[in-house]
Amino acid sequence: MNKRVSMLFTIAAVAVMGATLFGSTYTQTQIAGQSLDINKMDVDVIEQIHQMGGLQLVMPEAFAETDCGVLSNSKRKVVEFNLTGESVELPIMGGKTYNAMTFSGQVPGPTLRVTQGDVVKMTLTIPADEVTGHGNDMHASQISASAFESVNPGETSQYCYIAEAAGIFKYHCSGVKLIGMDQHVLSGMYGIAIVDPVDGYKKLMVEKTKVNAGKVSVDRKFYSADALEFQLQYNQLYLTKDGNYDAGAMFQHHNTATVVNGMQFGYVPNMAHNLLVKGDVNKNIFVAQPWNGLEHKQYQSQLLFVENDQHVRLFVENQGNEPVFFHIVGEILDRVVQGNRVQSAATETWLLGGSQGMIVDLVFDEPGAYAAVNHDYAAIYTGAATVFVAGDPFGLNPVLVEKGVIPAPVASYAYALGNPSDAVPPMGKNSIAHPALNIHGLMTDEVASEMQASGDYVALWEVIPVVAEILTS
């Protein structure tokens, strides 16, 4: 059978989706940007596509083997990745909620972690009571776009592919025959796949200087490939006052919020940190503490704790509609890797366009608080500020030991308070285990309860009152 079957598009489809999605072959049929009346476009063109029943991709079996039966017997490891498409209500900053769309009840969706060469078996289930269909487009795959066809409520769909390229890759809902893809993704239907290099990660070289006999020279320091890992996914929310998706605001790039792993300012201090540092839960150590309070449960903000002189690896993905100028206030990005190739070393900021990811390796040299930001001021002030705390900058070790919170001085506060679960990817090649993980993230109460029942996570809202009792007694 000839597998090179042509794609059939309608002119309207190409006009809207453009070359960004399907490649430069179709650029000539795009509507030039300046000819569009932005205020009308979202209504008229989308309505036209809606009336013709959506965009139907006809491109069966392109170039790679995607048959699950064949791939299951290919002597490769098969990793199952099961997702459900669920519309749920989730909180936003300021005490309101919004109408979120999720993979498996959480934003971002579950992180898939595999090794280069593994077979991914993706199964998407849409519950019968779900209000709309959904699809899943995984950028780690190299298969016909027809695999990403939407699935109706009450149905299940599956596809398989070999994760051939190492790196970090977005996955996202493809809407209902591409209708509403923007709404579904920007309302929460996105996540990442981490594909570890089959030969493992490289050791990290950090360049410093030293003085020897009055002469300054380069001092190269090498760190093992094993690293403490975090994931940071940037996106925006475009919402009406009622918490519904605002397509008009999206077309004009007027975002309501900038989110990291689904939340604005989700990784800033909370009352536990106030208590530890100021001795009072109500004395804020950070200007904005929007998720501060036991009633926030899994949404209670948390900090990211690392040790000094430790290899830290960050998986960063831009899921959104705006560029991300990734920078860590007070640090230098020791290495930037994309596509399993080093792109830069010792750089201050690295730019991620939409649907682009990178792996950042770095070492936090001195004890202190460091803010990872999108160095776009509009993004920083609408939520893209994430605080890392390295070592023991507040000199808390003696107090924590004396009060019996920890038996001996620790290299990071993670040993006393843990790290937030949603910022930590599943373990892979060269991962250093975190001391403890707290239930944290934009997830439904159901998902949080399941995590608590698993016994693998700490419920911070139950721990904080105990720690407070110990510290104030």
> Which parts of this chain interact with Cu ion (CB under 5 A)?
134, 173, 184, 189
Least distance in Å: CB of 175 to Cu ion? 6
> Least distance from C-beta 140 to Cu ion, angstroms?
19
Backbone angles phi, psi at 11, to 5 degrees: -60, -40
Nearest 10 degrees: Cα torsion 218, 223, 228, 232: 40
Provide, rounded to whole angstroms, the least separation between the CB of residue 442 and Cu ion: 16
Q: Which is nearer to Cu ion, 171 or 230 (CB)?
A: 171
For residue 454, the 8-state DSSP code is H
Nearer to Cu ion, 151 or 263 (CB): 151
User: Which H/E stretch holds residue 85?
Assistant: strand 78-91
Q: Of the two residues 173 and 227, which places its CB atom closer to Cu ion in the complex? A: 173
Q: How far is the CB of 180 from Cu ion (least distance, A)?
A: 7
Say if residues 123 and 157 touch (Cβ distance below 8 Å): yes
| 134 vs 273, beta carbon nearer Cu ion | 134
Q: How far is the CB of 378 from Cu ion (least distance, A)?
A: 27
Nearer to Cu ion, 109 or 243 (CB): 109
Q: Which is nearer to Cu ion, 83 or 189 (CB)?
A: 189
CB of 103 to Cu ion, least distance (A): 8
Question: Based on CB atoms, which residue is closest to Cu ion, 134 or 335?
Answer: 134
Burial of 55: CB neighbours in 10 Å, binned 0-12, 13-18, 19+:
buried
Q: What is the DSSP string of 384-425?
A: -EEEEEES-TT--HHHHHHTTSSSS--SSTHHHH-EEGGGSP
Cβ atoms of 178 and 52 within 8 Å: the answer is: no
Toward Cu ion, which CB reaches closer, 173 or 373?
173
Q: Which residues pair with 190 in a beta bridge?
A: 172
Comparison of 134 and 440: residue with beta carbon closer to Cu ion: 134
Least gap, CB of 240 to Cu ion (angstroms): 19
For 23, counting Cβ atoms within 10 Å of its Cβ (0-12 exposed, 13-18 middle, 19+ buried), the class is exposed
> Shortest Cβ distance from residue 147 to Cu ion (Å)?
15
**Whether the Cβ atoms of residue 385 and residue 265 lie closer than 8 Å to each other:** yes
- DSSP H or E segment with residue 272: helix 271-278
CA–CA dist 173, 351 (Å, integer)? 24
CA dihedral 202, 205, 206, 211 (to 10 degrees): 160
Q: Considering the complex, what minimum distance in angstroms separates the CB of residue 355 from Cu ion?
A: 16
Between the CA of residue 210 and those of 154, 213, 220, what are the distances in Å? Answer: 65, 10, 9
Task: State the Cα–Cα distance between residues 120 and 163, nearest whole angstrom.
Answer: 7
Residue among 12, 43, 41 nearest 29 (CA): 12
